[in-house]
Amino acid sequence: MKVLISADIEGVAGVFHAEQTRAGNGEYEAARRWMTLEANAAIEGAFASGATEVWVNDSHGGFRNLLPDLLDPRAQVVLGKPRTLGMMAGVEYGAALVFMIGYHAKAQTRGILAHTINSFAFARVAFNGVELGEAGVYGALAEEYGARVALLSGDDVFAEETAPRFPGARFVVTKRATGNASGVTQSPASVREMLHAAARDVVRQHIDEGRAPQATRAEAQPVECELRVQTSALADLFCQWPTLTRVDGVTLRFDAASAEHAVRMLNCLSAMSFMLR
């Protein structure tokens, strides 16, 4: 039974301000520890119900936030960038289940620290006409590899917007948003307890239902991606890529052969945007 945990930081209990997500200060050091312990709770819960292999993917920023020495030693940790599958790296090893821990709402919503992939560059991302946040974008990639997104955690706005995309998945609400940088949080300890129990239950249910312990990759389907960027200068930059079509001052489109190829293109554009910062 193989499980991949993708761990972000903005949806972690106690995290409300951008400073907590950026290296180089004491608040970040506390937040990365909370992030690590939430991931660890999910790892331990998965193993408690029969998972045989668990990967935990560091999915925030430079992908070097998790503290490996605090994680269950049975888990394998995916760190560093660039990497082809980004926040879903590890799914290629046959993970049957995916857990998205510490995720956040999509750009232009009222969720805590809400954004989609790159807050400086992207205002809206849609696949085949459906607007998606990071969970939706990377969930499409996971499903393309035959994995099922079964457990997600983050604030209440994230849970409300994402639940229709993954019917039957379990959600752990870590905090309630009252603004982009404000809200009411559960305690880190109580969230860890909920994550451990939810991970344990999800894995047990998967095994009891006789589902396959390892995913089989599905046939890829083409994706039309519409991307709204934050400024016309970013559109100028991105449209240097000859396969992008400009719809208006800040809206672009491109076609991809699969969700994986769409994700890879978005990550390339995200990296390009740093020249305008």
**How buried is residue 259: exposed, middle or buried, by Cβ count under 10 Å (0-12/13-18/19+)?**
buried
C-alpha 176, offset from chain centre? 19
Which domains are present in the chain? 2-117+134-208 (3.40.50.10780), 223-276 (no CATH)
Q: What's the pLDDT at 11?
A: 98
The identity of residue 110, as a single letter, is: R
Tell me the H-state helices in 177-224. Answer: 188-208
Averages of pLDDT over runs of 10 residues in the chain (277 residues) are 97 98 96 98 98 98 97 97 96 97 98 98 98 98 97 98 97 98 98 98 94 82 98 98 97 98 98 96
Residue 260 is assigned to a ligand binding site: no
> Is residue 104 marked as binding?
yes
Q: What is the pLDDT of residue 155?
A: 98
19 is in an annotated binding site: no
59-62 long-range Cβ contacts below 8 angstroms, 24+ apart: 59/6, 59/7, 59/8, 59/86, 59/87, 60/7, 60/8, 60/9, 60/10, 60/21, 60/35, 60/102, 61/9, 61/21, 61/22, 61/23, 62/23
The yes-or-no answer on residue 115 being catalytic is yes
The CA-atom distances, in angstroms, between 17 and each of 14, 27, 31, 49, 152 are 9, 9, 10, 35, 21
pLDDT at 211: 81
Residue-level pLDDT at 216: 81
- For the entire predicted model, the pTM comes to 0.97
Backbone angles phi, psi at 17, to 5 degrees: -120, 145
Q: What was the pLDDT predicted at 214?
A: 82
User: Per-residue pLDDT tens for 201-211?
Assistant: 999 999 999 88
Is 206 among the annotated ligand-binding positions?
no
Instruction: List, for residues 59-110, the tens digit of each pLDDT value.
Output: 999 999 999 999 999 999 999 999 999 999 999 999 999 999 999 999 999 9
Catalytic residue among 115, 196, 206, 261: 115
pLDDT in the model for residue 212: 78
201 is in an annotated binding site: no
Token duo for residue 114: 């809400």
Closest CA to 191 of 177, 171, 206: 171
